[in-house]
Amino acid sequence: MDFDLSPAPRYGVAEQVSPLIQRLMAPNPGPFTFHGTGVYIVGAGNSVAVIDPGPDLADHIEALKQALTGRTVSHILITHTHSDHSPAARPLAAWSGAPIYGFGAHAQTDEVEEGGAGLFVPDVKVIDGVAIAGEGFTFTALHTPGHTTGHICYALAEEKALFTGDHVMGWSTTVIAPPDGNMGDYLRSLEKLIGRDDVTLYPTHGAPIPAPDNFLHATLAHRRMREAQVAACVTGGYETIPDIVAKLYAGLSPALATAAALTVQAHLEHLMENRKVSRQGDHYLPIAR
């Protein structure tokens, strides 16, 4: 994978990234957010949509309000409910009067990214294929489960742009953390995006991704390669998740150990679904063919 590790943009400043799109970076950098949450403001007129308003941090919300002063917020769109994406939606809605759109809460809080389990209730529930239109912009929602059950991408027709949340990111692969994350769903959601006519992908973390099809094919190939490696570990006698993580992720930062273990678990669960691996307690065994 050829990742883009460009330096962080300025925090709290709405920067123009295309004719219709501005991005404002929240000051919440970390091992799973990279430089922070990139909040997208979409629209060239007085009425705009905000995508993934980010964490509930007072300074960040104030910067977002300053960037939006003089404009009307008509829509607040949520890709998914993790704590770095959705909590600022409610204070932004209270300030602006805009309705919040999203799939809904994900099933359970996971061990990597807290927030969202039963806490997030959108004003308007979004389903696959629904159109969301405003002043000079038209979105189509794409349900892309995998990172979470209720993950939504938003396609902007006017610029052939796709806002991918955490489904596809240019700086890192996405964490798939069971029980709400599901590797089989994730791979199918990647395949769903391949072959579209999107010109640019806009993830919530990291820089925009040009040439989307090439990157999506590379991402899918990487995931399939990793799954083949996990299967080979099981065949080679590495029967537990810690053993597989130690084999495949030598030298991994301790901050990412839990994420790696959950991703391996997600691959193992997908291998079990495909009847390539069986489980006995904490041990995974190959199924003879």
User: What pTM was estimated for this model as a whole?
Assistant: 0.94
Reported for 282-287, long-range contacts at CB under 8 A and 24+ positions apart, including other chains, are: 282/240, 282/241, 283/239, 283/240, 284/234, 284/239, 284/240, 284/241, 285/234, 285/239, 286/231, 286/234, 286/235
Task: With beta carbons less than 8 A apart as the criterion, state whether 51 and 156 touch.
Answer: no
Per-residue confidence of the chain (289 residues) as pLDDT tens digits? Answer: 789 999 988 999 999 999 999 999 999 999 999 999 999 999 999 999 999 999 999 999 999 999 999 999 999 999 999 999 999 999 999 999 999 999 986 555 555 554 444 468 899 999 999 999 999 999 999 999 999 999 999 999 999 999 999 999 999 999 999 999 999 999 999 999 999 999 999 999 999 999 899 999 999 999 999 999 999 999 999 999 999 999 999 888 888 899 999 999 999 999 999 999 999 999 999 998 6
Task: Based on DSSP, count helices (H) and strands (E) in the chain, helices before strands.
Answer: 6, 15
Strands of the chain (E only): list them. 14-16, 21-25, 38-42, 47-51, 72-77, 100-102, 124-125, 131-134, 137-143, 152-156, 161-165, 200-203, 209-210, 277-280, 283-286
Phi, psi of 72 (to 5 degrees): -100, 130
Instruction: List the domains of the chain with CATH numbers.
Output: 14-222 (3.60.15.10), 226-286 (1.10.10)
What's residue 2's pLDDT?
86
Task: Give the CA distances from residue 7 to residues 25, 72, 238, in Å, rounded to whole numbers and listed in that order.
Answer: 12, 31, 38
